[in-house]
Amino acid sequence: MSKQARKPIKWVSSAKRDLDGMPEDVKDVFGHAIDLAQAGGKHQDAKVMTGFGSAGVLEVVEDHQGDTYRAVYTVKFAGWVYVLHCFQKKSKSGIATPKPDLDLINTRLKAAKQDFEVWQAQQGARK
């Protein structure tokens, strides 16, 4: 994919601020994953999240000094990468994403869909 065809990023709610507060090594991994998504690729550690209706919601998990960090983004809206949530996993039991985080991701996915639909309508009005 050419540099001109790169998908722009939309940061939903506090996702960018949350990413900025993470350790540099974690930011590097997540930044690379998002960069690949912009270019139409997929990071080797990106996994499809279940429960969101399609393969368009991905999660990258990074362990750093005993802590686990996650970045969740979607590529399901043509031409865009929406970063939905960046967080440090707090739960000590299991690898599952905690329900409050899943609920937040779902809420932000709905906000991303609404934003995309508004953008699409504006594009249609310009034609």
Tens digit of each residue's pLDDT (9 = 90 or more) over 47-81 = 999 888 777 899 999 999 999 999 999 999 999 99
The mean pLDDT value of the chain amounts to 92
Higher pLDDT among residues 125 and 36, named by residue: 36
Question: pLDDT > 70: what percent of the chain?
Answer: 91
- Alpha-helical (H) ranges within 14-98 are 15-20, 24-38
Question: pLDDT > 90: what percent of the chain?
Answer: 77
Quote the pTM value. 0.91
Tens digit of each residue's pLDDT (9 = 90 or more) over 73-89 = 999 999 999 999 999 99
| Interatomic CA distance for residues 61 and 1, integer angstroms | 25
Backbone φ and ψ of 17, nearest 5°:
-60, -40
Higher pLDDT among residues 20 and 92, named by residue: 20
Domain residue spans of the chain? 9-125
Both tokens of 18, joined, read: 């949350």
| Interatomic CA distance for residues 71 and 27, integer angstroms | 10
